[in-house]
Chain A
Amino acid sequence: MLGKLKKTLNHLFVPQESNNFRGQYLHHDFLTTVIAVMLIVNVGLKLLVKNYDSNILGVAFNITAEELLNATNAERLKYDLPPLQSNDLLMQAASAKANDVFTKNYWAHYAPDGTSPWFFFQQAGYQYVFAGENLAKDFTDSQSVVNAWMNSPTHRDNILKADYQDIGFAIMEGTLQDQPTVLVVQLFGRQEGAVLAEEKPMARYQEPVPAKTVKVAKASPKPVVKTQTAVKKQPLINILSLQKELLLVVLAGLIIVLSLDLYFVEKKKLFRLSGKSLAHLMFTLLLILSIITTSSGVIL
């Protein structure tokens, strides 16, 4: 049994006579099969998620308003900025915005009918003089959302703007443009007449963004909006990580076979008419770097 396994692994990874001195893993038929399996798994998982219980198979999420607030304020503290206060009106406004995004099925700051982000502030009764909005979707945890915003200059400007005093979040699950999505809305604001508790000089953050000063419109009657401040879901099988893990296994196999190929070709002075393993290896390493360092979410 063990001998058979060793023989199979050697055939798969080590250049020898049985595989024409090129690991079977690098043969066309094997690579084609791997690609086909990956595509079938990708499509199959999507179909299974659509048709079966999401508690068993689905995408795991753990995003809460509390964690987002803490992560946002932690970033502000690094720049000696006062922490933002969670505001109920902004929470309602953020939920109304999230509802609007799902209802009208758009991924933008402005709705297709022209509704601006500022409409939701006014609708909730938040009389702002400064206002801002950050959006995110498809992230799986709170910290990666804030990290992505901090890595984008415009979103970062919002998070680090000294003029803001209040903050509100909505985290909502729904279907957006035919895709199951977890949407995060982050609203910033400062109310008319509000005085900042502590206006510290901006020690390291030297370029404050010109603030949008808005003429305050008369607030329309407040709608009844149920605020949603957390999406926590832990299905038995997380399809996002399952796909990434499968891909990592495939690419790790490729790294092993290419490394062994380089070693044995040099050691045994083999001459073959084939692709260059070193070029394949560098490309595969770049792909592994992509998997490890890239998160799937999108910000706006």
Chain B
Amino acid sequence: MITEIKQHKYEYSILFLYTILSVVMFLGYQQNWQRFIVIILYSGFYFSWSLIHHLINKNLTLIVLLEYLLITILALVSLKVIFFPNL
């Protein structure tokens, strides 16, 4: 992990910074719709970051893409349970 971070320090710095910003915004906002937007934006960021990271490193394959896609879908299912449990 440390080696990986050292090798791609700028990419991981962006990931860390946006994650911290999202946590601060999430805890700062109290309305569910605001929190929902924070997580949706993070989902978009996570997916884009992954694509860009693997494109830069020239190792983006369908298998890798599918892994991020599945985690994003899992997150969206989670958001449904968290924010819209009655729908």
Contact = CB atoms under 8 A, between A and B. Distances in A.
B67 A26 contact: yes
A179 B80 contact: no
A262 B63 contact: no
B86 A180 contact: yes
A266 B74 contact: no
B19 A262 contact: no
A203 to B, nearest CB: 23
B35 A179 contact: no
Contacts of B39: 286-287, 290
Give the interface size bracket for A toward B: 35 or more
Given A152-B30, A275-B50, A290 B71 contact: no
B82 A279 contact: no
B75 to A, nearest CB: 6
Interface stretch (A62-70, A75-83, A104-112, A292-300): A292-300
B73 A35 contact: yes
Interface stretch (A95-103, A117-125, A163-171, A239-247): A239-247
A177 B27 CA distance: 30
Q: Which of A262, A266, A279 has the most CB of B within 10 A?
A: A279
Interface of B: 1-5, 12, 15-16, 19, 22-23, 26-27, 30-32, 35, 39, 42-43, 46, 49-50, 53, 59, 61, 63-64, 66-68, 70-71, 73-75, 77-87
28 contacts: A28-B63, A31-B67, A31-B74, A152-B31, A244-B82, A247-B81, A274-B63, A275-B71, A277-B1, A278-B1, A278-B5, A279-B15, A279-B46, A279-B53, A282-B16, A283-B43, A284-B71, A286-B19, A286-B26, A287-B82, A289-B26, A289-B27, A290-B39, A291-B78, A293-B27, A294-B83, A296-B32, A296-B86
Given A274-B64, A278-B5, A289-B26, 9 more contacts: A34-B74, A244-B81, A244-B82, A275-B50, A278-B15, A286-B23, A290-B39, A290-B78, A295-B32
